[in-house]
Amino acid sequence: MMPKLTVLILCTGNSCRSQMAEGLLRAAAGDLIEVHSAGVKPAAQVQPGAIAVLAEIGIDISAQRPKHLDCFLHRPMHTVITVCDHVAEVCPVFPGKVRRHHWGFRDPAQAVGSEVAVMGEFRAVRDEMKRIFDAYAGGLRDGINPIAR
């Protein structure tokens, strides 16, 4: 059996968007790829709203922890996906031939208003991410994406 290819999802704080993306992509394609997330300035913990809205769709990210990008700089990466514009601009070069994608998402941790409004923003970002990462996983399964080779 061939080893799984590694996908790293990056964000600034690794507390919300990249953690949600890691959980979503692992749920959609964890049997095909190894998925990790990291940040350039990792926060102390994963945003509770991110944990809650993924739990609503049956994905448990409560054991995930923010990690620094440095933990992954010397590991072979097949694909690096940035999910916030800041990290897309400062993302380091990884050794070897690494595929890069940038899919920027709004930061639901920055949402203001009532708890209902804030959680609505977390759900909206989750749903947008789910559509994109499910499509990406579908491409992997169909062999359209070169990562599957």
Tens digit of each residue's pLDDT (9 = 90 or more) over 128-145:
999 999 999 999 888 765
pLDDT tens-digit series, residues 55-109: 999 999 999 999 999 999 888 889 999 998 877 676 666 667 888 899 999 999 9
Amino acid at 97: K
DSSP state of 47: -
State the CATH architecture for 5-143.
Answer: 3-Layer(aba) Sandwich (3.40)
pLDDT at 98: 86
Give the C-alpha separation, 25 to 7, whole Å: 9
Which tokens in the block code for residue 61?
A: 């990210």
Whole-prediction pTM: 0.91
For residue 50, what is the DSSP state? H
Which residues does the annotation mark as catalytic?
Answer: 11, 84, 91
